[in-house]
Structure 1
Amino acid sequence: MSGKDATDTKRPAVDRGASEAALEAAALRLLRRHGVLAGLNLREVADEAGVNRGLVYHYFGSRQELLRAALRRDVKERLAEILASGQLPFKARIQQLLRTMMGQDEAIRLSTLLVLDAQEKLPVAPLREQWISGFKHDMANGKIRKDVDLDALLALVTALSYGYVVFRQSMSDEFDIPAADLDFRVDAILGEMLARFEQPEAPGGEQE
C-alpha cells in the first residue's frame, strides 16, 4: 500500500473523532449557555460545532446518547483534578471533592437528569474504587474509625455533593445568602460532620 493510500485509509477515523469531539463540546457549550432544562436541539448542536447535521444521528443515534458521550468526555477531562485530591487528608479530600463538583455544575445537572431519565444506567461515582481504596488506607493508618461503613460513607458524600451542586443557586436565592458565603458555611458544616468519622486521639496525642 502506498503512503497516499495509507493516509486516505486513516483519514475517516481521524475526521470522525474530531467531529464527535466537536459535537460533544458544542452540546456542553449550548447547555451552559441556555441551561440544562432548556433542552438540546440537535440541529443547533450541529450548527454550533460546524458539522453536517446528518452526522449527529450517524455518530450518536439520539440526543440522549450525545448527552451521555458529552458528559463522559467532560468528566474524563476533569478526573485529574478530582484524583489530585487523593493526596489530601481525609476531611480535606472530601471537602475538595465538593469544591471540584461545584466547578462542574452543568455536568452534575446533566448527570442528574440522565439518571432520572433512567433509560440507561449512568455511573454517578465513576471513581468509586479509588475512593474506597483511599478510605481503607485512612482506616489502616488510624485516620478514620474502623467501624465506618465505607460504601455508605461514599454514597452519603456523593449524594450530598450532587444535591448541593444542583440546588446551590436556588438555595442561595431563597435564603438570600450570596452563593460564595453559603459555600463557605456549607464547607464548615461538612467538615464538622466528617469529623465524626475520624479516629479520636488517645490522651497522649496518638490515634487510638
Structure 2
Amino acid sequence: MPDQPAAAPTKRRRRTRQETEADLLDAALRLLERDGALAGITLREVAKEAGVNHGQIYQYFGDRQTLLRAAIGRLIDTKVLSAQSHWDKPFAERRRAMLQYALEQPQLMRLEALSALDGDPELSLFPELDRTRQALERDLREGELPEGADGLVMHAMTAATYLGYCIFREAIARDLDLDLEELDERASEVYDRMLEGLTTRGPRHGEPRGA
C-alpha cells in the first residue's frame, strides 16, 4: 500500500493584539493569586506564564506599573458594580454598596494596594470622580449630608476604611479568632454606624453637644 502523503501542517492562527493583551493580563492575575500580591512578579514571568514572547509584553505595557494598572482595569471591567443605579442613591447607601463590592473583589483590593506600594504615580482610586462630585453636591442639596460637610473627604475616608479592611481582613479574623463570614457581618454593622455618624446632623466641630 503506497504511503499516504503527510498532512499539511495546520497554520496556527495569529492572535490579535487584544487577545494577546488579555492573555497577558490573565497570566498576571493568576501569578498574583498564586504567589501573593507582593511576590514581585516581573514582565518576563508574566510573558512566560501567558506563552507570549517576552518582547511583546514590553511592547504592549512597557513596565510593571502599567501592567498592574491594566490588570486593575481588567478586574473592574469583568465585575462592574452590579447596581450602576447606586449613583442615584444617598451617600450612605452608595458607600454600603462599595463595601460589598470590595468584599467581593479581594484581588482587586490587593492589586490596588500593590500599585500604591509600588509608587505608581498614575494609580487612581477614584476614576469616576466627576460623578462622585455631582452625587455629593446632590447629597448636600437634599440634606443627605449635614450642611457644610466635607463630602469629598468623607468619600475618601470611607473608601480608605473599606479598602484597608478588605486588605487586612484575613489577618484581622485570625487575630480576633473569628471566621470571615462573622467578621464581615460585624464589620458591616460597624461601618453602618460610622456612616450614620457621618450623615447625622449634630453640633458643629468645637460646639458642646448639649448646646
Answer whether TM exceeds 0.5 for this pair. Answer: yes
Q: So what's the TM-score if we normalise by structure 1?
A: 0.80
Which residue is equivalent to 1:197?
A: 198
Q: So what's the TM-score if we normalise by structure 2?
A: 0.79
Amino acid at match of 1:106: Q
Matches within 5 A, 1:158-169: 158-169=159-170
| 1:178 Cα deviation after fit | 0.9
| 1:103 Cα deviation after fit | 1.6
Amino acid at match of 1:16: R
Which residue is equivalent to 1:151?
A: 152
Which residue is equivalent to 1:16?
A: 17
Matched position secondary structure for 2:47: helix
| 2:186 matches 1:178 | no
Q: Which moved more, 1:52-61 or 1:187-196?
A: 52-61
Specify whether residues 40 and 84 from structure 1 end up closer, same or farther in structure 2 by C-alpha distance, changes over 3 A only.
farther
CA contact (8 A) 1:101 1:161 kept: yes
Specify whether residues 82 and 39 from structure 1 end up closer, same or farther in structure 2 by C-alpha distance, changes over 3 A only.
farther
- Structure 2: tracts of 5 or more residues without a match: 1-12, 202-211
Supply the distance in 2 between the matched residues of 1:130 and 1:119 (Cα, whole angstroms).
Answer: 24
Matched position secondary structure for 2:38: helix
Which residue is equivalent to 2:67?
A: 66
Supply the distance in 1 between the matched residues of 2:82 and 2:50 (Cα, whole angstroms).
Answer: 27
Supply the distance in 2 between the matched residues of 1:80 and 1:169 (Cα, whole angstroms).
Answer: 23
Amino acid at match of 1:194: L
Matches within 5 A, 1:89-104: 89-104=90-105
Report the structure number with the largest CA radius of gyration.
2
CA contact (8 A) 2:24 2:47 kept: yes
CA contact (8 A) 1:74 1:107 kept: yes
CA contact (8 A) 2:145 2:151 kept: no
- Structure 1: tracts of 5 or more residues without a match: 1-10, 201-208
Across the aligned residues of Structure 1 and Structure 2, the Cα RMSD in angstroms comes to 2.3
As a proportion of its length, which structure holds more helix?
1
Q: Deviations over 1:102-161 (max 9, x none)?
A: 222112112112112214231112222222322222222222212210111011111111
Supply the distance in 2 between the matched residues of 1:186 and 1:131 (Cα, whole angstroms).
Answer: 24
Matched position secondary structure for 2:198: coil
Supply the distance in 1 between the matched residues of 2:17 and 2:86 (Cα, whole angstroms).
Answer: 34
CA contact (8 A) 1:19 1:51 kept: yes
Which residue is equivalent to 2:86?
A: 85
Which residue is equivalent to 2:188?
A: 187
Q: Deviations over 1:140-198 (max 9, x none)?
A: 22222122101110111111111111111110111111111111111111111111233
Specify whether residues 86 and 153 from structure 1 end up closer, same or farther in structure 2 by C-alpha distance, changes over 3 A only.
same
CA contact (8 A) 2:144 2:199 kept: yes
Supply the distance in 1 between the matched residues of 2:123 and 2:24 (Cα, whole angstroms).
Answer: 20
Task: State the identity %.
Answer: 35
Which residue is equivalent to 1:138?
A: 139
Matched position secondary structure for 2:92: helix
